[in-house]
Amino acid sequence: MTVPVDDHLVHRGDGVFEAFKMVDGKVFLLDEHLARLERSAGDIFLELRHTKEEMIDICKQLAEVSGLKDILFRLYASRGPGGFTPNPYASVGPQLYLIASALRNPAPELYENGAKIGFSQVAIKSGGLAKVKTCNYISNVLMAKEAVDQKLNFVVNVTEDGFLGEGPTENIVYLNEANELIYSSFDHTLRGTTLLRLHELSGELQAQGLITGMKEAKQSADELYKAKEVFMIGTTLDALPVVEVAGQTVGDGKPGPVAKLARELLKKDQQENGTVL
Amino acid sequence: MGYPVYNDVTEIVNACPEYAAQNDYHAMYSSVFQGSLPTLN
């Protein structure tokens, strides 16, 4: 597990990354994750060392070597080694590091009891960089520290204007008083692949009368206090209900039906539409 | 432009199997290591 210390990934955070999971031998949203990787790399003018097909083949080989069916792949595309300045041209060329770890899901009790979240004091990323999944993640690191220090499961950031952002590695959605499922505008947040997939699947939530629709919106963080349901969405979480926001109870204080069905839809999707390598 | 050869990943993994197991690391690919595909088990 060694990366050269003069790889610009190490000393400047100069690289992009993705994390995606294999569940029961099928990779969830593989194309979407690799497409976002390519977009992120393009945004920082980083040429990927491997083609998409080569990266998929490496994932396949890693899965075979590991012998696992449930894997969290972590893919890092770096500027590469050479020198210690921020000059991206001082490199022997881009590199790829790809790790297969055993997929560890959150404890079942967390889904049964719900999570507690708070608001972060860490300055939110500026518009442009917030949309690129780079390895420069110090603000996310500090947010994760805030959550641990405050004995919370997550914190979410807020813009200077008081608009809702995202968690360290999760998107947040909530059910408003009009039964609309709302997620933050992508002005200051990463385009979450699981979130966007849930949006595609949200017709079922609507068909069952749980929501009137799902949409991206620039909303005040205060809206969370009035929400009927709140939940976090991410690659490893799927949909995790939130029962407390900054010390205030959400709804009746128990995980709600929208979060529950959202999780079921995502898990069903993983089984039915995951990619066999 | 060449690049100095680092220790093979397999050597590192063999040197710290408990660490690899503790963190659920099972396999790694690194282009720096010329595409070796070691197991961490």
pLDDT tens digits for A64-87? Answer: 878 899 999 999 999 998 889 999
End-to-end CA distance of chain B: 34
B39 to chain A, any CB pair closer than 8 A? The answer is yes
Yes or no, beta carbons of B31 and A50 under 8 Å apart: yes
Per-residue pLDDT band for A219 (boundaries 50, 70, 90) equals: confident
Q: pLDDT band at residue A2, thresholds of 50, 70 and 90?
A: low
Nearest CA among A201, A123, A136 for reference residue A165: A123
Query: What 3-state class would DSSP assign to A242?
Result: strand
Q: Which residues pair with A183 in a beta bridge?
A: A173, A216
Contacts of B12 in chain A (CB under 8 A): 1-2
Give the list of residues 6+ apart from residue B1 with CB closer than 8 angstroms, or none: A92, A93
Which residue of A65, A92, A97 to mutate against B (max B Cβ within 10 Å)?
Answer: A65
- Please check the confidence at residue B29 and state whether its pLDDT lies above 80: no
Q: Which of B7, B30, B33 to mutate to test the interface with A (most CBs of A within 10 A)?
A: B30
Is residue B34 within 8 angstroms of chain A, CB to CB?
no
In the predicted model, what is the mean pLDDT of residues A188-217?
96
Interval A154-198: pLDDT, tens: 999 999 899 999 999 999 999 999 999 999 988 888 999 999 999
* pLDDT tier for residue B27 given thresholds of 50, 70 and 90: confident
Give residue A76's pLDDT: 96
pLDDT of residue B23: 67
ipTM over 0.90: no
Q: Which of A124, A100, A95, A101 is nearest to A6 (CA)?
A: A95
For residue A49, the distance in angstroms to the closest alpha carbon of chain B comes to 9
Contacts of B20 in chain A (CB under 8 A): 1
pLDDT over threshold 80, residue B36: no
Which residue among B2, B20, B29 sits closest to A62, beta carbon to beta carbon?
Answer: B29
Q: Which residue has the higher pLDDT, A275 or B28?
A: A275
Q: Hey, are the CB atoms on A1 and B25 less than 8 Å from each other?
A: yes
Per residue in A102-124, pLDDT (tens digit) is 999 999 999 999 999 999 999 98
pTM: 0.90
CB contact under 8 A, B20 and A1: yes
Name the β-bridge partners of A97.
A76, B30
Helix-strand-coil split of chain A, %, nearest 5: 35, 25, 40
Closest chain B residue to A2 measured between Cα atoms?
B9
